[in-house]
Amino acid sequence: MIIQLQNQVAEADRKAIIEKIKSFRYKVTPVTTQRGDYLIGIGKAEFDIRSLGHMPGIKDLHIVSDDYKLVSRKWKVNPSVVDLGDGVEIKQGNFTLMAGPCSIETEEQVEKTIAHLVANNVRIMRGGVFKPRSSPYSFRGLGIDGLKMFYAKCQEHGIKIITEVMQVSQIAPMYDYTDIYQVGARNTQNFNLLDELGKVDKPVMIKRGISGTIDELLYSAEYVFSGGNEKLMLCERGIRTYETASRNTLDLNAVPILKDKTHLPVIVDPSHGMGIRDYIEPMALAAVMAGADGIIYETHEKPEEAASDGAQTLNFAESEQLVKKLRATYELRQKLG
Amino acid sequence: MIIQLQNQVAEADRKAIIEKIKSFRYKVTPVTTQRGDYLIGIGKAEFDIRSLGHMPGIKDLHIVSDDYKLVSRKWKVNPSVVDLGDGVEIKQGNFTLMAGPCSIETEEQVEKTIAHLVANNVRIMRGGVFKPRSSPYSFRGLGIDGLKMFYAKCQEHGIKIITEVMQVSQIAPMYDYTDIYQVGARNTQNFNLLDELGKVDKPVMIKRGISGTIDELLYSAEYVFSGGNEKLMLCERGIRTYETASRNTLDLNAVPILKDKTHLPVIVDPSHGMGIRDYIEPMALAAVMAGADGIIYETHEKPEEAASDGAQTLNFAESEQLVKKLRATYELRQKLG
Amino acid sequence: MIIQLQNQVAEADRKAIIEKIKSFRYKVTPVTTQRGDYLIGIGKAEFDIRSLGHMPGIKDLHIVSDDYKLVSRKWKVNPSVVDLGDGVEIKQGNFTLMAGPCSIETEEQVEKTIAHLVANNVRIMRGGVFKPRSSPYSFRGLGIDGLKMFYAKCQEHGIKIITEVMQVSQIAPMYDYTDIYQVGARNTQNFNLLDELGKVDKPVMIKRGISGTIDELLYSAEYVFSGGNEKLMLCERGIRTYETASRNTLDLNAVPILKDKTHLPVIVDPSHGMGIRDYIEPMALAAVMAGADGIIYETHEKPEEAASDGAQTLNFAESEQLVKKLRATYELRQKLG
Amino acid sequence: MIIQLQNQVAEADRKAIIEKIKSFRYKVTPVTTQRGDYLIGIGKAEFDIRSLGHMPGIKDLHIVSDDYKLVSRKWKVNPSVVDLGDGVEIKQGNFTLMAGPCSIETEEQVEKTIAHLVANNVRIMRGGVFKPRSSPYSFRGLGIDGLKMFYAKCQEHGIKIITEVMQVSQIAPMYDYTDIYQVGARNTQNFNLLDELGKVDKPVMIKRGISGTIDELLYSAEYVFSGGNEKLMLCERGIRTYETASRNTLDLNAVPILKDKTHLPVIVDPSHGMGIRDYIEPMALAAVMAGADGIIYETHEKPEEAASDGAQTLNFAESEQLVKKLRATYELRQKLG
């Protein structure tokens, strides 16, 4: 169950509520987020909801049958809004585009990408400075100095940025130079990282694990949300299956399922999802019709020279065409209702 | 390599060509389809194509690097057309709808479904009379008598039918009462069945195996095509993964990949692909944007009373809405180009 | 529920029992096997077992909660014995070896293999004459004439044979020339084939599907068993996963699970399970400790010249060593109890 | 390529070697481990090995075709030994047992487990104090205070411990209270954690990822090894597949493959691998025959009261029996050679 407490609840009332919940043999976890104070009760016993519902100090009480609670749409029917400022809002009802290279490489690269985004009215740029790589001998990103350059350039042109955080110790140094912390597919169940991102007052996007279930993604979201950070969105980016014809299997089924189960925005990453340039466009358009609230994809002036992921990266001409088609497709989806 | 022979090639020329191919240590398989005579050469050695290309009797010669040959788009760039007669053509450039119940149950059910299809200008009805069931104690379909009734009713209203064939011995008795033989996901690698369907002059739709790769699907298509039957289409219907949130994982990635690799029409089945009624519509619309040439889905007047698959079956109101949205989405796709 | 009827039950008693079962809203399926007459009741309602249990004509009554019934160990606690005659029995408590080439190729090959088997006291030879192949252009086996030669040679030396049946029409012509019909991994859910094998009075071994669940394998076994043929065994042969380091993932977990769930003998095929010669031995020995009742593996005088599957085939020296180690391992397992 | 430098190589020689490698357009990574100084060269160009091999300062030069280098058996044929002191060595040729509860709960629990291990001559106890849990509301372990108690008790009785490290910031505080750092299946690709463990002079065991490939496990090992820590071992603990009959699919195929590809010791965890108590024993014995250098499993005085993982935990009587059988099986394996 989720109990939302009244603002400035009296401590005695709060204690009485906690005692009452414990009397049902439920475990109580107090949660304070940017938007309110909650008590999460976890247990299985039947109890008389009326004995609880009328206690002083309770603003709202929901029974949520899912194992995740605060991210469930059974608790919060209205879709969540992640506000980045300057009129950039990620939410159901908007259509969000995030584009940019796999890795931040040079100032020139960032500038050219920004020009491309501005020309196409894309407001969020992606780009990695900490790169998770299977092999220790691969390029691992420009690090925090690269991030500072990347952020400064984007600030100049009103572009927000999303970039991957790989470990707890990076959260603080990145804080002043990022708009959205991205949790990558290898860290979806890095629970310490999720715990700490729950304490931050900045948006977070969690990618689904490489072979993560939809429920596990929702549990990971629950870590951040119950840690205190409601500025949260989810990302489908392809799963691992037996099929080897594509790098991953972009699982668009996850989109309507997630939209049904949670109030959080759902973004789709067709670049990592497929891994093959020629198929990015049809899968991105498909993702829109499946119900995605946004698309994140890789673009680079010269994909064949990119430091990483060139094979799945669009050049700017392809990117421009994709943006137009995505918006036309989203418009149709809105019209069809 | 694929060699198309001239019509009425002289036997001596034909033999000379075969001997030449064998001289490269290639295995030769002669293939006669509804549309021509071919020699398929399989081997790995390098050879001088000029020594072969100018021999008398050869109409056309293609080197096809894929392991499947006749179904490869490297051989035949133009998309194939499957003509069902009466103006019903399945092909890239048309958008085909096939709808109906999982199982044929009663005359009344068939009549009501036909009325629904006619009202929505859907020209092909699906419905099973031989049902593959995991348990021997489950309902296994009305059999050949059910098929005769089903076919007769549809004939009256200009509706074509597609229905599953489970074994070789059913091919002949079904022949006069079906328009498209469907090969189900459990029979994708039933090579004897594929061999025999290669000898039939009637369209065949092969579903991807339950955990079949895209290449295996193309190989299975090669069986039918090289057996002599070019009236062939493929169907993505969901694969088996670790994810349990849906019955199967509809793999829309397969659509652009198949459209790229083969000239055969590609149909998508979101009903089996997802298995959950509420998510059929978004996934069907997504399939259109991914590039599908058609959609096959399950509809029933009263899904909750269906003999099988009720949980993934749309009622007629839902079906009508889906058809409209599918056509609007296809129209957009055509416009976007 | 499973009701075993008394021998020569009176027709009136039989009818009364059926009516009683139907009165619980259970579906009744009568089953006659080589060893008895049964009524299988399928339903979910609660009922008073005493009202049924004492009716005349009932020899035995079991409530089996599994969805498969006759193959469940909840019904039949004692392990089944498959008797091939001449002292060759496949059963828990024996340790069965089956070895031979992937494909039967020549008389000489068969003779040499027989000599190898006789020298090592292996009583069952494997060898395919109908080969399921992904590509229509691959070698597809010697067919029925090859089988006759294979069987005759083995008969001379007291060797039993196991060979794959691919379709219903092969069952009858194969009948006089085979000791065990093998159902391959692509036919595990070829329900027509299973139906017909249920009517045959000859042993059948069903391989697990390429991505078949353990429950699906048990259901497929239920087809054959409830069709009337109790001479049945199961085979784990590797499943399809995301891992590409081996051809398949031999799933030894299936062995203790199957031994727990069913009374049928369980055989393991490490050759197809792994697909890499060097790893066959450790996996075969592991299979014994996991509880397998027997091992089937591929051996050939010259694996590098085998018509198929050479990469996973042992030569005779490796085979001899494997047999010794398998028997020593089985002996230890029996001792440990 | 891997170049081992001579002890106290002259700086000029070292520089000359690096320049020579770069002249082949190879990337050079210097690596210093507990046992030596290396230069790892990564590249694809052909070069004349003789021009490099005779340069002063080179002790040894290996061309390693695998993408992982230092953990490859192509470089180091002799199996690695992980020495825990007090005569406890983990290596091919020894058979290592590690047992204990999923979570450390109380002093009493630890004492009873130690008594059980001592009685059975098991020298390493497992037990988690930092627990990765899907849900933020689950028990997450006793933390560092629990670890101190756990370690102190084990020290008293000559028992070594293995326990999970979840993040970089735990490495230092755990250092004085652990014998083996375990990297869990959700952290196999937590590259920052691997980097830092590479700098520690204490043994590390890396578990295979939940759906990690064998190659990815070896890459992750390369992180630690090339980071400087050669005290390394690997653990197969079950992978995620479509099969739901067991919690995970213990992939014993990985054992002979890993033993072939790397010189590091390979441990198997049947408890997490299967997740069902009744099947732990057969799978553990199977793992021995597959070639495992050791087994890690869960045991608890009263599994039904365990704070976590009770369903896959053996009681002490079962554990005692397992240990005896494991040793008998290992003895046979050694005898068979």
> Nearest to residue D162, comparing CAs of D201, D190, D129?
D129
* pLDDT bucket at B139, cuts 50 / 70 / 90: confident
Question: D58 in a domain, yes or no?
Answer: yes
Chain D residues near residue B241 by CB distance under 8 angstroms: 242
More confident residue, C91 or A51: C91
Q: CB distance C250–D252 less than 8 Å? A: yes
Neighbours of chain D (3+ CB pairs under 8 A): A, B, C
Q: Is the pLDDT of residue B193 over 90?
A: yes
Q: What pLDDT score was predicted for residue B138?
A: 86
The three-state secondary structure class of D49 is helix
Cβ separation of B252 and A278 shorter than 8 Å?
no
**Cα–Cα distances in angstroms (integers) from residue C26 to residues A186, A215, C5, C214, in the given order:** 50, 36, 17, 26
Contact D241 B244 (CB under 8 A): no
Q: Which of D242, D244, D248 to mutate to test the interface with B (most CBs of B within 10 A)?
A: D242
Does D150 have pLDDT greater than 90? Answer: yes
Is the pLDDT at A67 greater than 90? The verdict is: no
Say yes or no: B144 and B193 in one domain. yes
* Per-residue pLDDT reduced to its tens digit, D197-218: 999 999 999 999 999 999 999 9
Decide: C117 and C98 in contact? Cβ < 8 Å.
no
The share of chain C scoring above pLDDT 90, in percent, equals 85
CATH label of the domain that carries residue B40: 3.30.70
> Do D44 and D114 have their domain in common?
no
Has residue D302 got a pLDDT over 90? yes
Confidence of residue D331 (pLDDT cuts 50, 70, 90): very high
Rounded Cα gap, residues B228 and B260, in angstroms: 23
Q: How many domains is chain C partitioned into structurally?
A: 2
Residue D33 covered by a domain: yes
Residue with tokens 């594929």: B194
Q: Which residue of A has its CA nearest to B243?
A: A213
Mean pLDDT of B272-286: 95
| Angle made by CA atoms A61, A67, A73, in degrees to the nearest 5 | 55
Report the amino acid identity of residue C115.
Answer: A
> What is the C-alpha separation between B144 and B174, in angstroms, rounded?
7
pLDDT digits (tens, 9 = 90+) for C66-107: 889 999 999 998 999 999 999 999 999 999 999 999 999 999
From the CA of A335, how many Å to the nearest CA of chain B?
10
> Which residue, among B107, B88, B101, has the nearest Cα to B150 in the 3D structure?
B107
Identify whether B71 is part of a domain. no
Residues of C in contact with D279 (CB under 8 A): 253, 256-257, 260
Q: Is residue A237 part of a domain?
A: yes
Q: Specify whether the CB–CB gap between B67 and B221 falls below 8 A.
A: no
> Does one domain contain both C137 and C229?
yes
Instruction: Specify whether C220 is located in the same domain as C271.
Output: yes
Of residues D49 and A79, more confidently modeled:
A79
Distance separating alpha carbons of residues C128 and C205, to the nearest angstrom? 14
Asked if A223 and D136 come within 8 Å (Cβ–Cβ), the reply is yes
pLDDT of residue B332: 98
A98, pLDDT greater than 90: yes
Q: Is the pLDDT of residue B307 over 90?
A: no
Instruction: Find the range with the poorest average confidence among A177-191, C249-263, D66-80.
Output: D66-80
In this structure, are B323 and B249 located in the same domain? Answer: yes
* Residue A46 pLDDT greater than 90, yes or no: no
Confirm whether A186 is domain-assigned: yes
Among chain A residues, CA nearest to B273: A253
CB pairs under 8 A between A and D: 85
Instruction: Give the DSSP letter of residue B277.
Output: G
Is the confidence at residue B213, as pLDDT, over 90?
A: yes
Cβ within 8 Å, pair A240-C242: yes
pLDDT at C47 exceeding the cut of 90: no
Q: Which domain holds residue D46?
A: 2-62
pLDDT of residue B50: 83
pLDDT in tens, C113-130: 999 999 999 999 999 999
Q: What is the mean pLDDT of residues B72-77?
A: 91
- Which residues, 6 or more positions from B19, have their beta carbon under 8 angstroms from its beta carbon? none
- Give B244's contacts in chain D (Cβ within 8 Å): 244
Is B155 in the same domain as B21? Answer: no
Of D278, D288, D291, which is closest to C289 when you measure between CB atoms? D288
Task: Judge whether A324 lies within some domain.
Answer: yes
CATH of residue C150's domain is 3.20.20.70
User: Across residues C40-69, what is the average pLDDT?
Assistant: 88
Residue D151, min C-alpha distance to chain C (Å) = 34
Same domain, A41 and A161: no
Instruction: Tell me if D113 sits within 8 A of A203, measured CB to CB.
Output: no
pLDDT at D330 over 90: yes
pLDDT at B48: 82
The answer, yes or no, to whether residue A165 has pLDDT greater than 90, is yes
Q: With pLDDT > 90 as the criterion, what percentage of chain B qualifies?
A: 85
Per-residue pLDDT at D269: 98
- Average pLDDT over every residue of B51-76: 90
D28/D160 same-domain check: no
Is the same domain home to A131 and A165? yes
Q: For residues D296 and C309, give the distance between their C-alpha atoms in angstroms, rounded to a whole number.
A: 36
pTM of the predicted model as reported, rounded to 2 decimal places: 0.93
Beta carbons of D167 and A190 less than 8 Å apart: yes
Residue type, D302: K
Mean pLDDT of chain B: 95
Q: Which residue has the higher pLDDT, C50 or D288?
A: D288
- Look at residue D287 and tell me if it is in a domain: yes
Helix ranges, C186-268 (H):
191-197, 214-227, 254-261
Residue of B nearest to D243 (CA): B242
Question: Quick one: which of B109, D130, A253, D291 has its CA closest to C285?
Answer: D291
Over residues B72-85, mean pLDDT = 94
Contact A57, A17 (CB under 8 A): yes
Shared-domain flag, residues C139 and C229: yes
Q: For residue B107, give the 3-state DSSP assignment.
A: helix
Report yes or no: D290 at the C interface, CB cutoff 8 Å.
yes
Residue A58 lies in a domain: yes
Q: D244 and B241: CB-CB below 8 Å?
A: no
Whether chain D has a CB inside 8 Å of the CB on A143: the answer is: no
From the CA of A169, how many Å to the nearest CA of chain D?
Answer: 8
The mean pLDDT value of chain A amounts to 95
Amino acid at B115: A
All partners of chain B with 3 or more CB pairs under 8 angstroms: A, C, D
Helix (H, G, I), strand (E, B) or coil at C239: strand
In this structure, are B102 and B35 located in the same domain? no
Min Cα distance B242 → chain D (Å) is: 4
Q: Could you tell me if D95 and D55 lie in one domain?
A: no
Report the pLDDT value the prediction gives residue D66, as an integer from 0 to 100: 85
B322 CB contacts (<8 Å, ≥6 apart)?
B280, B281, B284, B297, B314
Residues 123-142 of C with CB under 8 A from B: 132-137
Residue A39 pLDDT > 90: yes
Chain C residue numbers with beta carbons less than 8 Å from the beta carbon of D325 are 336
Cβ pair B294, B98 in contact under 8 A: yes
Distance from CA of B278 to the nearest CA of A (A): 9
- Higher model confidence: residue D65 or residue A278? A278
> What distance in Å separates the CA atoms of residue A217 and residue A209, rounded to the nearest whole number?
7
Q: How confident is the model at residue A44 (pLDDT cuts 50, 70, 90)?
A: confident
Task: With a cut of 90, say whether residue D51 has pLDDT above it.
Answer: no
How far is CA B46 from each of CA A13, B21, B24, C299, rounded to the nearest angstrom? Answer: 86, 12, 8, 33
Helix (H, G, I), strand (E, B) or coil at B98: strand
A183 to A14, A33, A203: CA distances (angstroms): 34, 20, 11
